[in-house]
Amino acid sequence: MSYTQRFLKEFNTLKFVLQNAKNILIVGHSRPDPDAVGSTVGFSKFIQKHYKAKTIVGCYDPFPDNLKNIIPFDKVANPRNLDLTKFDVVIGCDSVDRGFNKVIEKISKDCVTVVIDHHHDTLTKGNIFINDGKCSSTCEMLYHFFVFVGKEIDKDIANALLAGIIFDTGGFKHSNTSAQTLAAAADLIKHGASAAKANKVLSENRDVKTLNLWGKALEHTKFFEKTGLAVTAITQEDILKYKIKPGEMSSVASMLTTVPSVRAALVVYQADQNLIKGSLRAEKHGNIDVSAIAHQFGGGGHKLASGFTAPGRIVAQKDGTWKIE
């Protein structure tokens, strides 16, 4: 069954809603990554180009400045500063349980809610609910909708979508990369997107300090042979020393999953004085649903990539090991 056949009802309904909307808010998740930025900005530009509605992109956290080099975005509004009752349509793109769930609590009763998400355990629903846990990214899902609508995908829209796809597939290296994903990426390149530029922007922070951090993380790695789980920790001292950004933590987990004996990897790091965060990654061949692990700590995500936040401190031991207190 083709993508359009699977979501024919939802796509037709969303197309009708966009044709009649006046004021649209498109919301990305907190701690936005390139898939969240690419999907919200790409969708906003698509609507501005082809429909009469006014759009605002919103997020509770700022978009990373470095992404402007590949995803041209303007001002991003904090939903706390908006009158949410003025919108007749609100759209949540990617990991909608991290921000969009708060927005829909404050909208008018007549507002149409739309959820577009590729996380299989999404709890937040909408009047239009487009959810596909097998799709590589929300940006890929939006590509299929844009093709269904049959309206032009210009260079800026193509770059926004391709950046999200490249990030969520690890540059097409993760097992969530399908033939459908590659076909979508190829078509976006035909529309003017630059895969080389996107890869450069998404990896530009990986300097010598980042490589040093990876070495430190490998030093701290514990491997549990019975389960195939590799676990490592990054202390607050490590983060300050190497001036590392949170987005690089998931890259450590992805790196560990490339080891043949590793079925899944967990990186825990000190996010605040008494708060730790965990980033989980798995490869398809490992047959481990890391979202089930994340759920045990109040987090979530999808089967191959998840995360959580929990109280605690990572304490380095004299023998080079670590523990969480």
Q: Using the predicted structure, report yes or no on whether residue 109 has a pLDDT greater than 80.
A: yes
CATH 1.20.1510.10 fits 208-324, yes or no: no
- With tokens 């590729």, the residue in question is 118
Pairing of strands 275-282, 300-302: unpaired
**What are the domain boundaries of the chain?**
3-203, 208-324
277-313: pLDDT as tens digits? 888 888 777 788 888 888 888 887 777 778 888 898 8
What is the Cα–Cα distance from 203 to 211, expressed in whole angstroms? 12
What is the Cα–Cα distance from 56 to 118, expressed in whole angstroms? 22
212-225: pLDDT as tens digits? 777 877 877 889 98
The pTM score is: 0.76
Identify the pLDDT of residue 184: 95
CATH of 3-203, one of 3.40.50.1220, 3.40.640.10, 3.40.33.10, 3.90.1640.10: 3.90.1640.10
176-185: pLDDT as tens digits? 888 999 999 9
Identify the pLDDT of residue 236: 80
Identify the pLDDT of residue 260: 80
- With tokens 């700590």, the residue in question is 297
What is the Cα–Cα distance from 7 to 46, expressed in whole angstroms? 19
Identify the pLDDT of residue 39: 98
Q: Using the predicted structure, report yes or no on whether residue 45 has a pLDDT greater than 60.
A: yes
Select the more confidently predicted residue: 26 or 122.
Answer: 26
Q: Using the predicted structure, report yes or no on whether residue 157 has a pLDDT greater than 70.
A: yes
Q: To 10 degrees, the CA torsion angle through 244, 214, 121, 264?
A: -170
Pairing of strands 89-93, 23-28: parallel
**Residue 203: band (very low, low, confident or very high) from pLDDT cuts 50, 70, 90:** low
Identify the pLDDT of residue 315: 84
